[in-house]
Amino acid sequence: MKAFYIISFFILSLLHQNVAAQLQIDSFESIENKMTITPKPLVIFIHTDWCMYCKNMENTTFKNTDVIQQLNENFYFASLNGESRETIHFLNNSFRFQPNGNKTGVHQLARELATVNNQIGYPTLAILNHKYEIIFQQQSFLSAKELIKILNKLSNNDS
C-alpha cells in the first residue's frame, strides 16, 4: 500500500510539472496591449498543418522546459499558421488569407514575417524587437538547444 502512495505522489508530481511548464501563447491583438505596458521582443513561430518539421518543433522544441521558461520570462510568443483563414488585426492593419489556387493560399501576415529571399518556408521563426522590427528570421527546424542560444543572445542584447 505504501508503494501505491509513493507511485501516486510521483505521478501527480509529474503532472504538476507539465501543467506548470506551459508555454504562454499570446494573440496578436493582446500583444499590442502588453507591449505598451511591458516592452519585450516578440517571437513568432510560423508553421502549417502539413509541415512535419513544424510539428516536430511543436512537439520537442516548444515543449522543452528551458525554452518555455526563457520565452515566458523574456519574450512574448505568438504562433501563426501560414495558411490560416482567420483575419488578424495587428499594428493598425487587417491581415487576411490570400488564395493562390483552388484550395491553397498564404496568410498575409505569414508572407510578411516568413519571407526570406523572396520565398516563404516553414517553419520560420521571426523575432521582432519592441518597435516591431524584425531582428531575427530563420527558416528551418530549430532544436531546443539552438533556440535557447538564440534567445539568450537576444535577451542579453536589449533589442
Residue ranges of domains in the chain? 24-157
User: Which CATH topology does 24-157 take?
Assistant: Glutaredoxin (3.40.30)
Instruction: Cite the DSSP H helix spans in the chain.
Output: 2-20, 28-37, 52-59, 65-74, 108-114, 144-157
Contact 91, 97 (CB under 8 A): no
pLDDT band at 101 (very low <50, low <70, confident <90, very high): confident
Q: What is the pTM of this model?
A: 0.84
* Cell representation of residue 6: 509513493
Q: Residue 143 contacts by C-beta under 8 Å, 6 or more apart in sequence?
A: 60, 61
What would the pLDDT profile of 67-96 be if each residue is shown by its tens digit? 999 999 999 999 999 999 999 999 999 999
